[in-house]
Structure 1
Amino acid sequence: MNVPRALAQKKKYLIWIIVVTAAVIALNKTLLAPPRVKTVAIQKRDLVSQVYGNGTVEAKVVVGISSKITGRIAELYADQGDRVKKGELLARLENEDLLHQQQQSEAGLNRSAAGLVAEQANLQKAKANLALAEKNARRFRSLAAKEMVSRLESEQYDTAFLLAREEVSRSQASIEAIKMEQRANRANLGYARSKVNDALIYAPQDGVIITRDLEKGATLTAGMSIFTLADPAAVWVKANVDESQLKGVTVGKKAAILLRSAPGEQFPGQVARLGQQSDRVTEELEVDVAFTPPLESFRLGEQSEVYITTGMKKNAPALPSLSIVTRDKKRGVWTVAGGRLAFKAVTTGIEDRGNFTEIVQGLDPSDQVVVATPQEMGRFRQGMKVRSGR
């Protein structure tokens, strides 16, 4: 018997046995090994519950500035983006014809005033003549009664008295007519002045010019908008919030506002108004969130996001939101005990924007909870073997 050859053959078999055993061990520890999962324990955290909404920046008060009269724009003194004060001159229309009408009305009023002075002087003269005529008529009636003068002469003085009295009445009526003319002239002058003033366009309130709709030289009709003015103190985000998230959203709640033009920056705000009618298609409600303090610079229509704070808790037991799943219509988590998975139903509370959720009940502080992607958790089964690690 060839001993060396037998030993070599035995050695070869031993090597194959070792290789197969190593391969089996490797498979058990790799491909055939239970999956490795990451586990965490409940931690105390400060949580803030926030409701999300998106919308656009809008102004509560938007005023169209227009003219009361038809005319041509002579000058414009403001442009979009300008901040203006109430009563500030914004535009002027051509007003030469209106000024001429005003001057004519002023001349008519001055003429009637002069006529009134002259007629008042005539009235004083007529009253003096009346007094003299009355004395003469009385005296000559007395003389005629004594036959010291003829009756004809006495009657002539009586007639002069009647004429003097009629002259007084005429002067008084003339004065009343002039006064009526003055009232009409004053009304005409007021109307002419108002037309001249209507050619000057003033800011009706403090605000920011959002648009300038016409340019110098343009002809406009009454009511046609020249500027659009917005009140910066009443600028807010008209956000759309899902109906299912509205619990706890009330007027006065604090909020954080994010603008597309300022990535990474948050602006403080608060809920100013809640809509009373939801969109029947999107099932969302309009929530107006005001900036506090008001923005110095803003763009109406800018895309925005809001996070409305509806609750806060300090040192609340919490888990990463990724660890919470819904199974058989129950919210819960997968725990690891003795190398096997077990599903535990939990009661949750505040869900923080930082992806942490409050655990109200259902877990012990010592429980090891699995954190995995939804796809991985979809493959989990009750009692499934796993390898845990932090």
Structure 2
Amino acid sequence: MNVAVDEPVLANDGRQDDAVSRKQARRRLALYGGAGVVLVGVLVFGGYWYSVGRYLQSTDDAYVRADWVTSSSRVAGFVAKVEVDDDQPVKAGDVLVRLQDRDYRARYEQAKADVAEAHAAFTAAQALAQVAGERIAQQQQAIVQAESVLQSTDAERRRTTLDVKRYKGLVRDSAATLQRLEQANASAVQAGAAWQGAQAQLRERRSQLAMAKAQAAYADAQVEQRRAGQASAQARLVLAEQDVQDTLIRAPIDGVVGQRRVRAGQHVVAGQPLLAVVPLQQTYIVANYKETQLTHMHPGQPVRINVDSYSDRQLLGRVASVSPASGNVFALLPSDNATGNFTKIVQRFPVRILLEQPMSGQPILPGMSVVTTVDTRPTESADE
């Protein structure tokens, strides 16, 4: 009876051992499979890291920037009208603000009158210079005439002097009368007086020529002075015209109006910031990378860009340049490591990144936070 009872028990024990063996086999198979999957994953990750991952330099210390321009007035005055609203797109040359221009227009008209007056004075000075030149020519002709008269009187003086000598000899020889000698003496005296008068006339003509030349030099100086006055008046006219044009404050670039501080009726002074124009089509990214990440980074490398505002989109860009110094160097109060309290801190260098194409339908605004990843692989590897 005991044998009959023990046989089923032994059969049940055999079946349990088989089940345990199969379970252990399945466990070993699962363990080996899991280890194989992990090994494959490690190999795949290691291969990716070795070929790609170790070249990817990423940072979230990156922001969108734009070289926006502050529009200010070049002249002082009261604001007549503000032509734009906040966040309004504008084109380069569009009128943003109008200033009252009546005072500047009055100065412009006064400058025009000054130019006309200076032109008239210049014309008059040229006429006087021309008259002085004609007077010089006239005196030169008078001098030529006076020299001719002097030569004629000198010849007459010499002739009469010879006549006196000849008649004196004739009177001694009783060949001529005393009356004839007296007439010859009188003629000689008259000829001498005429010669002296001709000399005086020539000296006077020469003196008048010198005076005419001095007057001509003065007239030429007046012409130059009037020419300078005309140029000065013309320059004042240009400045007055520019002041009138500067009462219209125009957009320097294409962009969107922001930070509008000006209102109609407000008094503004030259150089006062009125509003900003932000060029949204010229945005770029400044990413502050650690100095340890710059080893293989250079301009032209591709960049993957993730904008926090649009997490489902990814943009592409290129490294444009790397800052010549760290941000600490350009800080308002840079640290001084020569004080003795030195703590080594990894510095960050701004890297400028340009977008290869704008995001359609979704504007990228300056100030947005982004995450940038620079692919520093060699060109051949990056292209693969």
Task: Bin the TM-score by the shorter chain.
Answer: 0.5 to 0.7
RMSD (Å), alpha carbons: 4.8
Q: Which residue pairs with 1:42 in the alignment? A: 40
Amino acid at match of 1:292: E
Residues 1:178 and 2:184 are matched in the alignment: no
User: What are the superposed Cα offsets for residues 291-327 of structure 1, whole Å, 9 maximum, x if unpaired?
Assistant: 1124573211112222333459xxxxxxxxxxxxxxx
Per the TM alignment, residue 272 of structure 1 is displaced from its structure 2 partner at its CA by 2.9
Residues 1:188 and 2:236 are matched in the alignment: yes
Q: Which residue pairs with 2:369 in the alignment? A: 303
Q: Which residue pairs with 1:372 in the alignment? A: none
What is the alpha-carbon distance in structure 2 between the residues aligned to residue 135 and residue 237 of structure 1? 85
Amino acid at match of 1:272: A
Per the TM alignment, residue 250 of structure 1 is displaced from its structure 2 partner at its CA by 4.2
1:251 counterpart SS class: coil
Per the TM alignment, residue 136 of structure 1 is displaced from its structure 2 partner at its CA by 4.8
2:300 counterpart SS class: coil
1:124 counterpart SS class: helix
Note the 1:12-51 alignment, pairs <5 A: 39=34, 40=37, 42=40, 47=48, 48-49=52-53, 50-51=56-57
What is the alpha-carbon distance in structure 1 between the residues aligned to residue 351 and residue 128 of structure 2? 77
1:261 counterpart SS class: helix
Q: Which residue pairs with 1:255 in the alignment? A: 303
1:64 counterpart SS class: strand
Amino acid at match of 1:186: Q
What is the alpha-carbon distance in structure 1 between the residues aligned to residue 115 and residue 371 of structure 2? 64
The change in CA–CA distance for 1:186 and 1:241 in structure 2 (over 3 A counts) is closer
Match of 1:103 among 86, 94, 109: 109
The change in CA–CA distance for 1:294 and 1:130 in structure 2 (over 3 A counts) is same
**Contact 1:81–1:209, Cα closer than 8 Å, also in 2:** yes
The change in CA–CA distance for 1:53 and 1:168 in structure 2 (over 3 A counts) is closer
Bigger strand share: 1
Q: Which residue pairs with 1:219 in the alignment? A: 267
Amino acid at match of 2:299: V
What is the alpha-carbon distance in structure 2 between the residues aligned to residue 168 and residue 304 of structure 1? 79
Unpaired runs of 5+ in structure 2?
A: 1-11, 154-190, 329-343, 379-384
- Fraction of identical pairs, as percent: 20
Amino acid at match of 1:277: S
Q: Which residue pairs with 1:376 in the alignment? A: none
Q: Which residue pairs with 2:204 in the alignment? A: 158
**Contact 1:136–1:157, Cα closer than 8 Å, also in 2:** no
Match of 2:326 among 249, 272, 277: 277
1:308 counterpart SS class: strand
User: What are the superposed Cα offsets for residues 198-244 of structure 1, whole Å, 9 maximum, x if unpaired?
Assistant: 4343444x442462433243333332223334455652333345667
Per the TM alignment, residue 264 of structure 1 is displaced from its structure 2 partner at its CA by 0.6
The change in CA–CA distance for 1:198 and 1:42 in structure 2 (over 3 A counts) is same
Residues 1:289 and 2:287 are matched in the alignment: no
- TM-score after normalising by structure 1: 0.56
Larger Rg: 2
**Contact 1:256–1:307, Cα closer than 8 Å, also in 2:** yes
User: What are the superposed Cα offsets for residues 247-305 of structure 1, whole Å, 9 maximum, x if unpaired?
Assistant: 65443332221223323111112233345538866876544432112457321111222
User: What are the superposed Cα offsets for residues 112-135 of structure 1, whole Å, 9 maximum, x if unpaired?
Assistant: 212222333344344445544554
The change in CA–CA distance for 1:74 and 1:56 in structure 2 (over 3 A counts) is farther
Amino acid at match of 2:40: I
The change in CA–CA distance for 1:138 and 1:232 in structure 2 (over 3 A counts) is same
Per the TM alignment, residue 151 of structure 1 is displaced from its structure 2 partner at its CA by 4.3
2:320 counterpart SS class: strand
- TM-score after normalising by structure 2: 0.56
Q: Which residue pairs with 2:176 in the alignment? A: none
Note the 1:292-371 alignment, pairs <5 A: 292-294=356-358, 297-310=363-376
2:316 counterpart SS class: strand
The change in CA–CA distance for 1:82 and 1:56 in structure 2 (over 3 A counts) is farther
Note the 1:2-151 alignment, pairs <5 A: 39=34, 40=37, 42=40, 47=48, 48-49=52-53, 50-59=56-65, 61-78=67-84, 80=87, 82-85=89-92, 89-132=95-138, 134-136=140-142, 139=145, 142=149, 145=153, 146=191, 151=197
Unpaired runs of 5+ in structure 1?
A: 1-17, 313-390
2:284 counterpart SS class: strand
What is the alpha-carbon distance in structure 1 between the residues aligned to residue 354 and residue 270 of structure 2? 34
